[in-house]
């Protein structure tokens, strides 16, 4: 039985340290409770989480550069590849939404929630982001017990009313009070078990990246960003504030650094070791080397964007544009190399 907290429950044995990215942090909690232990980079990579999007509209304060797939797609991909039982609940009723979550926790099952981070009382940045994901592992009469990223504190709490507001948020990337639970095999998978899923995930991620449907996504999207970044001093209202925000979101706001490229680099490095003896191991290792180079350059782009905001100097944005073009070349080469794994299967 779990610990009783007044008129509530706390699930036993939850690891509350948190990771670098919200969705993989949550998956780590849920899978760990189900008896499956995988590194955060492995979770990200098996979910084919890497992507790129450049998005801008009149409704946005600043242009958006994203380095991952849409919220929850990573979770769906991961569960499909590992044969996990993913149970998802969505509803327009706040009452029913809470009952679904409370019932799971009462049965000693932690729950993933998609919500707007703006309304979480512990959150360090009051920016609306309705694609945020946390793990809920307990509650009492007034408080929800959550696991968020290490950056946000890992083991955190927020009031039940604030949680309800966050779950009810609408707008870009929002979901209808989405909650989810996972059930999986008790036995930890071996390298031989994981190898086919790794190869499949790497090929799928590369294919999506290299064949985007519009010019704002994938390798085409990086080229689009390279062109548009030169105009950002005229695009934003307050360069010192807004371009600093863009730089922070790229490199330090739950991306694991370098717009998720550090996570993907580490996934490829771990996968190359896991595939030792497989004909594709050298291909994956080469991809890891290229993404290590790309990750360094993404950090440089963030530095240049931040410097442009601080100095209101267009030369920094011109420099960022050139680095983005270089990144597009490197990542296109990396993904083309990784897609060739499909020929070895």
Cα separation, 35 vs 98, whole angstroms: 26
| From 67-71, 87-91, 151-155, 186-190, the region with the lowest mean pLDDT | 186-190
Q: Are the CB atoms for 136 and 177 separated by under 8 Å?
A: no
Backbone angles phi, psi at 112, to 5 degrees: -85, 140
| Residue 58 confidence class, pLDDT cut points 50, 70, 90 | confident
Average pLDDT of the residues in 278-294: 95
Q: Chain-wide mean pLDDT for the chain?
A: 93
- Terminal CA-CA length for the chain: 46
Pull the structure tokens for residue 199: 């190869």
Q: Provide the CATH topology of domain 3-36+84-183.
A: Cathepsin B; Chain A (3.90.70)
Q: Which tens digits make up the pLDDT trace of 161-219?
A: 999 999 999 888 889 999 999 997 767 888 888 999 999 999 999 999 999 999 999 99
Give me the pLDDT at residue 343, please.
61
Q: Are the CB atoms for 293 and 202 separated by under 8 Å?
A: no
| Residue 1 confidence class, pLDDT cut points 50, 70, 90 | very low
Q: Are the CB atoms for 312 and 240 separated by under 8 Å?
A: yes
Q: Are the CB atoms for 24 and 42 separated by under 8 Å?
A: no
H or E element in which residue 113 lies: strand 111-115
Give me the pLDDT at residue 188, please.
84
Cα separation, 159 vs 157, whole angstroms: 7
H or E element in which residue 217 lies: none
Average pLDDT of the residues in 261-282: 95
Q: pLDDT at residue 335 above 90?
A: yes
Q: Tell me the whole-structure pTM to 2 decimals.
A: 0.94
Residue 100 to residues 96, 97, 112, 163, Cα–Cα distance (Å):
6, 5, 11, 14
Average pLDDT of the residues in 89-94: 96
H or E element in which residue 199 lies: helix 191-210
Give me the pLDDT at residue 171, please.
82
* 3-class secondary structure per residue, 22-55: HHHHHHHHHHHHCCCCCCHHHHHHHCCCEEEEEE
Domain boundaries, the chain: 3-36+84-183, 191-344
């Amino acid at each position: 039985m779990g610990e009783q907290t007044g008129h509530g429950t706390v699930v036993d044995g939850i690891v509350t340290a948190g990771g670098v990215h919200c969705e993989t942090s949550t998956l780590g909690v849920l899978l760990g409770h189900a008896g499956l232990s995988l590194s955060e980079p492995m979770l990200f990579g098996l979910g084919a989480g890497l992507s790129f999007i450049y998005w801008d509209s009149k409704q946005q304060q600043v242009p958006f550069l994203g380095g991952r797939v849409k919220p929850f797609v990573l979770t769906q991909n991961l569960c499909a590849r590992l044969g996990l039982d993913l149970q998802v609940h969505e509803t327009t009723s706040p009452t029913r939404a809470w009952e679904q979550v409370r019932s799971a926790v009462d049965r000693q099952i932690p729950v993933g929630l998609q919500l707007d981070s703006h309304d979480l009382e512990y959150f360090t940045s009051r920016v609306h982001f309705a694609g945020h994901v946390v793990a809920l592992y307990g509650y009492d009469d007034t408080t929800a017990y959550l696991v968020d990223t290490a950056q946000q504190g890992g083991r955190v709490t927020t009031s039940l009313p604030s949680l309800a507001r966050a779950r009810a948020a609408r707008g870009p990337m929002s979901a209808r009070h989405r909650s989810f639970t996972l059930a999986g095999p008790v036995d930890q998978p071996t390298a031989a078990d994981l190898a086919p899923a790794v190869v499949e995930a790497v090929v799928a991620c590369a294919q999506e990246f290299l064949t985007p449907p519009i010019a704002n996504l994938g390798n085409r999207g990086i080229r689009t960003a390279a062109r548009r970044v030169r105009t950002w001093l005229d695009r934003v209202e307050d360069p010192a504030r807004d371009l600093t925000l863009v730089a922070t979101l790229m490199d330090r706001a739950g991306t694991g650094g370098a717009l998720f490229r550090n996570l993907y680099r580490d996934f490829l490095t771990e996968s190359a070791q896991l595939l030792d003896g497989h004909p594709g191991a050298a291909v994956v290792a080469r991809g890891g080397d290229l993404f290590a180079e790309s990750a360094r350059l993404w950090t440089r782009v963030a530095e240049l964007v931040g410097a442009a905001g601080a100095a209101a100097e267009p030369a920094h944005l011109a420099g960022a544009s050139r680095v983005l073009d270089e990144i597009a070349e490197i990542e296109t080469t990396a993904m083309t190399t990784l897609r060739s794994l499909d020929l070895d299967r």
